[in-house]
């Protein structure tokens, strides 16, 4: 296989950038997600792919819930903050305003376009990311705006 062509073409798949909030007991965390998509209308399902060697992956696997905060195009710095592993940077939510979601208790970023809350109803554990299938059990809109897209940041995640 032509590795350069594979990487180039896989990076052309459009991705939004989101903050995934997770909660397990009293522990909370958030991390940047780009591999997210809707997969069903009825019931409303999304697919959220999370790197298997992350602490947040373990939290989602144990708790069975997560929340997705949708970022606006001017929130690249916020997305960058949440790309860092918690084990290296500590509490990423410390100086970010958030509130616990009604349906999951997971952190939702106050200064986001809005959010969805999900309960995990299925998983696929292949490769280095787990595909968590989440049923949307809560949602809200904070404001209107244009979604932050991975391609507009100049960053690459994929390939």
> What is the per-residue pLDDT for 150?
84
Q: Is residue 4 part of a domain?
A: no
What is the 8-class DSSP label of residue 72?
A: B
Q: Is residue 159 part of a domain?
A: no
Q: Give residue-wise pLDDT tens across range 29-82.
A: 999 999 999 999 999 999 999 999 989 999 999 999 999 999 999 999 999 998
82: domain range? 16-153
Q: Is residue 9 part of a domain?
A: no
DSSP 87-146: HHH--TTTTS-EEE-TTT--EEETTSSEEEEEEEEEEEEETTEEEEEEEEEEEEE----P
Q: Is residue 67 part of a domain?
A: yes
Residue 149: which CATH number? 2.30.110.10
| Region 103-123 average pLDDT | 98
pTM of the predicted model, to two decimals? 0.91
Q: Is residue 5 part of a domain?
A: no
Task: Give the integer Cα–Cα distance in Å for 132 and 60.
Answer: 9
Q: Is residue 131 part of a domain?
A: yes
Q: How many domains does the chain have?
A: 1
């Amino acid at each position: 296989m032509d590795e350069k062509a594979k990487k180039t073409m896989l990076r052309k798949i459009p991705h939004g950038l989101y903050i995934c909030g997770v909660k397990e007991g009293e522990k909370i965390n958030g991390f940047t997600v780009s591999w997210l998509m809707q997969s069903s209308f009825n019931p409303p399902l999304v697919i959220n792919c999370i790197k298997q060697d992350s602490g947040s992956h373990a939290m989602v696997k144990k708790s069975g819930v997560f929340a997705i905060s949708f970022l606006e195009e001017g929130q690249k710095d916020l997305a960058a903050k949440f790309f860092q592993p918690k084990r290296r940077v500590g509490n990423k939510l410390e100086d970010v305003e958030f509130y616990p979601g009604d349906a999951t208790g997971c952190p939702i970023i106050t200064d986001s376009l809005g959010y969805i809350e999900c309960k995990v109803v299925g998983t696929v554990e292949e490769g280095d990311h787990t595909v968590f299938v989440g049923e949307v059990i809560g949602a809200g809109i904070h404001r209107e705006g244009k979604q932050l897209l991975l391609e507009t940041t100049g960053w690459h995640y994929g390939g």
